[in-house]
Amino acid sequence: MRVILREEVPNLGKGGEVVTVRDGFGRNYLLPQGLAMPATEHNVKQLEHHKKIIATRNAKLLKDSQSVADRLAKLEVKIQRQAGEGGKLFGSVSTRDIEDAVKALGVTIDRKKVVIEHPIKSLGEYTVDVKLGQSVTGKLKVVVSEAPAAS
């Protein structure tokens, strides 16, 4: 029996693949669980059409992600925080702070995609990764400086 997988099935294949399975496995497990659909001529044509649409969309997303990564590489985000002795911050610089600082420069990113390997708890320059999707990762330079003392 030939079926089109709707999602990844371990030891069988990934979503969107046309695979051949034993009749009982397809009829009694894959189809009732909604993991696959029969590989009829109509379904195969429909799958090919969806693959073309998805490929076009992915190409556009990749291009957009790469342009955002290029813009991020040129940016230098400056964040001011109060610091104590030895340049230690009172608290830390969070992904939300970085998101807000980048947004102020005119680039929109999602704070959930900002990757900080170690918490930023002291003054200095840091390089932060921003996962933009489609295996594109942008590098962002973050400069943490001491805020002027409040009077």
Render pLDDT for 46-99 as a digit per residue (tens, 0 to 9).
Answer: 989 988 998 898 889 899 989 999 999 999 999 999 988 888 998 899 999 999
Backbone angles phi, psi at 122, to 5 degrees: -145, 165
Please, which pLDDT band fits residue 13 given cuts at 50, 70 and 90? Answer: confident
Predicted confidence at residue 6, as pLDDT, reads: 87
How, if at all, do strands 124-133 and 114-115 pair?
A: antiparallel
How, if at all, do strands 114-115 and 2-5 pair?
A: unpaired
Domain 2-64, CATH number (from 2.60.40.420, 3.40.5.10, 3.40.50.300, 3.40.50.720): 3.40.5.10
Q: Please list the alpha-helical segments (H only) found in 40-115.
A: 41-74, 95-104
Non-local (6+) Cβ contacts of 48 within 8 A are none
Mean pLDDT, the chain, rounded, equals 91
Predicted confidence at residue 150, as pLDDT, reads: 63
CATH 3.10.430.100 fits 66-146, yes or no: yes
Predicted confidence at residue 133, as pLDDT, reads: 78
Predicted confidence at residue 23, as pLDDT, reads: 95
pTM of whole model > 0.85? no
Q: CA nearest 78: which of 113, 109, 111, 102?
A: 102
Residue 151: pLDDT over 90: no
